């Protein structure tokens, strides 16, 4: 469940492993601003679908009172994140986890590896680039992982009231061309799944390039 780069790589090999996502570089500052406002001031945050690992390093650098735990089910993504972690060696960046929201007991695996419940889950740009069960599994696991008042933060493109921004319409088509099970999700459908697992919609925040931050809170009465 935990990855560590097991051997040193030469610089050119390292650069191939350590990926750079232009969109992560573009959206990290707006995301930091929103996360600073919406996450608890301190505590443990579990990031699902960390991708390259650049967000994990950037958030850990800029939110020093938060312990950031990255995860991703993709081996190449984890290799990249491992090397970003090794490059920056931040005290508040936890070991990388291998978690997929479609795994039956990802929540139990996460809690066992972390040794404590996180105060928040962050999932950036995942639910549209994965089949719908990835979103359902995210909330099902979040129900187990987060206690009352826990925050589930999503970011990405969304449809609202059946309307998609033109740029998201083109993106939706592109996603469906890659995989017919992918696609920009309707915020209403996500809220229905969230409610079924004990999460209330706290707020939506418009973000650059027709993206949206969506903040859910675990309802009172949660375990
Ligand atoms: C477009 S990338 C986003 C990466 C990063 N969050 C970002 O914004 O740069 C989508 C990521 O979701 C991961 N992913 C796909 N299905 C997943 C699932 N069911 N659970 C967790 N992560 C998943 C992929 O491995 C990939 O790294």
Domains defined for the chain, CATH in brackets: 2-218 (3.40.50.150)
The owner of tokens 């650098």 is: 61
Contact 56, 47 (CB under 8 A): yes
Atom of ligand 1 nearest to the CA of 130: 16
- pLDDT tens digits, one per residue of 63-107: 999 999 999 999 999 999 999 999 999 999 999 999 999 999 999
Atom 22 in ligand 1: residue holding the nearest Cα: 49
Distance CA 112, CA 168 (A): 38
Among 25, 72, 153, which is best to mutate for testing ligand 1, by the most ligand atoms less than 8 A from CB?
72
Atom 16 in ligand 1: residue holding the nearest Cα: 130
Pairing type for strands 199-207 and 120-124 reads unpaired
- pLDDT tens digits, one per residue of 109-167: 999 999 999 999 999 999 999 999 999 999 999 999 999 999 999 999 999 999 999 99
Task: Find out whether the beta carbon of 74 lies less than 6 Å from any atom of ligand 1.
Answer: yes
Tell me the whole-structure pTM to 2 decimals. 0.93
Distance CA 186, CA 6 (A): 41
Atom of ligand 1 nearest to the CA of 23: 9
153 C-alpha to ligand 1 centroid (Å) = 14
């Amino acid at each position: 469940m935990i990855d560590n780069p097991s051997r040193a790589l030469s610089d050119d090999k390292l650069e191939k492993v350590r990926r750079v996502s232009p969109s992560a570089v573009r959206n990290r500052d707006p995301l930091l601003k929103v996360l600073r406002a919406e996450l608890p001031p301190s505590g443990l945050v579990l990031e699902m679908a960390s991708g390259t690992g650049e967000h994990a390093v950037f958030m850990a650098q800029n939110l020093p009172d938060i312990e950031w735990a990255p995860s991703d089910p993709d081996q190449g993504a984890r290799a990249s994140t491992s090397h970003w972690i090794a490059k920056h060696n931040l005290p508040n960046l936890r070991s990388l986890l291998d978690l997929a929201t479609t795994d039956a007991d990802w929540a139990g695996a996460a809690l066992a590896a972390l040794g404590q419940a996180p105060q928040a889950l962050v999932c950036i740009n995942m639910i549209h680039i994965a089949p719908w069960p990835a979103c359902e599994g995210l909330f099902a696991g979040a129900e187990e992982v987060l206690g009352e008042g826990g925050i589930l933060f999503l970011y990405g493109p969304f449809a609202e009231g059946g309307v998609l921004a033109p740029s998201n319409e083109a993106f939706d088509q592109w996603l469906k061309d890659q995989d017919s099970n992918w696609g920009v999700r309707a915020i209403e459908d996500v809220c229905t799944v969230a409610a079924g697992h004990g999460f209330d919609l706290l707020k939506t925040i418009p973000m650059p390039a027709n993206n949206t931050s969506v903040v859910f809170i675990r309802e009172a009465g949660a375990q």
